[in-house]
Structure 1
Amino acid sequence: MRLTLTKAMTGALPWHCGTFRRQQNRCWPIGTVRPSCAVKTPMAILSTSPCPPATLIRWRLLFTHVLKNSRGKFYIKTLSGRMRVCQQAAHAHRIRGEIVALIQSVPVVSPTQVTPGWITDVLQKNGIDGTVSAFTMENVGTGQLGETRRYFLEYEGAPPANAPNSVVGKFPSDNEVASTTGKEMGFYRSEVMFYREAAHRAEIRTPKVYAAELDPDSHDFVLLFEDLAPAVAGDHMQGCSLEQARLALKEAAKLHAAFWNDTDLMNQDWVYAPEGSQGFYTTELMESSWVHFEKTYAHRMEPEVIQVCDKYIRHHAAWNAPRDMPKCFSHNDFRVDNMLFGGERVAVVDWQTSNFLGSGMDVAYFLGGAFDRETRRANEAQLLHKYHDDLVVQGAEGYS
């Protein structure tokens, strides 16, 4: 069940949602007040309160604004201020003819609470009309802040053509310290909100998400994705090939260009936008950490490495000083471990530390860890030029 606005924004709706008045290509419910919001050019306000009771099944949103920003993109804005387009819909600014305003939620569960019925419910809410009768489960990866499971599905009767053979679920860590960190630092919320609010217009390749839910009280979460196997996760200790690096940086350019200087997104309450280069590691923390690390491991480091680290720590405050635009939404842990390789494109996962940063952070972090020193020095300039070319082609401006 979906509540839609037609291409003309004034056509018949699936059920009565108030009377609309046409005015200068905008439509407003009679008697409403123009909302105050960060996104420019509100297009309509929509109320579902008169919906027949039979259709009101755990709707997450009861009121929304449909908005068009200064760049001509359409979004859904809730009364709480959050931007949203239903995750099952195509990019709203592309389809324009139909904007999906409401989605249904599913319960937040742990790996041991996942049942065939729960997966069936999730899949059916995504238009997959099959019934899961059983599954087998296996662990995936070794995440530091989360637990990941793969579910091999069995169906009652012949499954529909669009039914997946397996899905992947992500949950809070079983480790209490890690779980508390993920909740208190907002890492779990960031990842869930990325998949809800931004993944569908990020252009970068990510797994299709069937469910992205966060419990507002416990801050537990659940994510259910498509299974991208046989693509395999990279190994940070092994690095990657030059061709894999080119593919990864191509995805980075897609992500960054999609949200280049996008203040609409930057001002959302779920997006962390530090003033400096990054916000998780303050100068005070970096200084104290380096004192401990050098004291503990100096005997295992070359003098040249110690000199570089000393110099970096001395200049950290200046490096992390407030920055002006350009800025863009960034993965902020853009390394080989968080990439799935296989096929023509690289898929990027683990968006828990994503935030809105000064341009260049993802690329610098990736190049600094993907190669040995000699390979990086020989190929860094070429890779950077190609990344910049891709960024410009996709619309990024004011960056050289």
Structure 2
Amino acid sequence: MGTFWGPDFGALERDDPEIAAVLVDEVARQRDTLQLIASESFMSPGVLAALGSTLANKYAEGYPGHRYYGGCAQVDRAEELAVARAKDLFSADHANVQPHSGASANLAAYAALAEPGDPVLAMGLPYGGHLTHGSKANFSGKWFHPIAYRVTPDTEEIDYDEVRDLALAHRPKLIICGATSYPRLIDFARFREIADEAGAYLMVDAAHFIGLVAGRAVPSPVPYADVVTCTTHKALRGPRGGMILCRADLAQRIDKAVFPFAQGGPMMHAVAAKAVALREAGTPEFRGYAQQTVRNARALAAGLVAEGMRPVTGGTDNHLAVLDLSDLGVRGHEAEARCAQAGIALNKNAIPFDPEKPAVASGIRVGTPSVTSQGMREGEMRQIAGLIGVAVRSDPATAAGADWLAETGEEVSELVRRFPFYTEQEVMA
């Protein structure tokens, strides 16, 4: 095996061939199918190298210069680099790079800014919000008093008038904007005005679009928010993990909310990998990728319109699109399964005011970070839209549908072979 796997993959192959096979098969899956999950992208070999390094051995509770264990000089350097790069990249007063995930970052933000039982205003899950924005199954809905704002039925965009009315009526301690399946830009200035009028903190959950912010493809929430939480994977192309940006006066509260309140020792291999990704995100090449990601999402959404799918809000301003399949008579979970059979990875997704249950859904969500990382552009997006259209309309229970899915799978294979990200040479000796 080559350097992609690190020098000890041969030992893993010998000692645990079952797990070695999982690693090899997953690379093949990522390389040989179309990756259209909006919350995923491809890490660079440099990020993967840091993530698989011996920094994973080091326990480092605390912060650089103030650890509860000895032997932290080298991991301190990694964290200091990650923090400095995050602050510089996003023009933030303070950065905490220790959260294990976006959900962990959100938990810390809640802990820093609110008390259990406080009202929190956020986008409702049926309209694009996240589990940590008030779901009754999540800490955010169990420990706090969630108030949900919606989108308008006609435009399917955020109803800022409703946001203001709810904020003034309930006086929440915390207002959250950001979503998991909202394809439009968010008016951060308007949210700032509402938060100030209601006497609330403003938190922006930028998990999905922080990479586009880094690449200057969408506006930054940092100048408007008290706290910005985000993930370091997705469009930022870093390791799976979280990060928090905040105002200087909130730095100590945020740091204490991450450690010791919500977490113990940080994963220093992931922190180092975040540092690598943040350096990469400051390059001209990354800026080109981010801007192409948005252009590709718009082209893909337009192509899916031609396939009979209605884009929620009429289109997209970012890296994802949500498509209503009602006119095709196909439900989201059926479309996801059919596309998977043709080698296309995407997910079922609820549409605003969806009559179906979330596990069924009336729509799908597509994202372009991965295919853009592979070098695909608008022409390929139109081709992908056609492949999705055939797959969604193909019923595998019929002989004709099964044949169409097989033919579509062959076209998918040919397309991804033209745009490899992890090449055969990188993963095989």
User: With structure 2 as the length reference, what TM-score do the two structures score?
Assistant: 0.24
Larger relative contact order, structure 1 or 2 (CA cutoff 8 Å, min sep 6)? 2
Structure whose residues are more often helix by fraction: 2
Structure whose residues are more often strand by fraction: 1
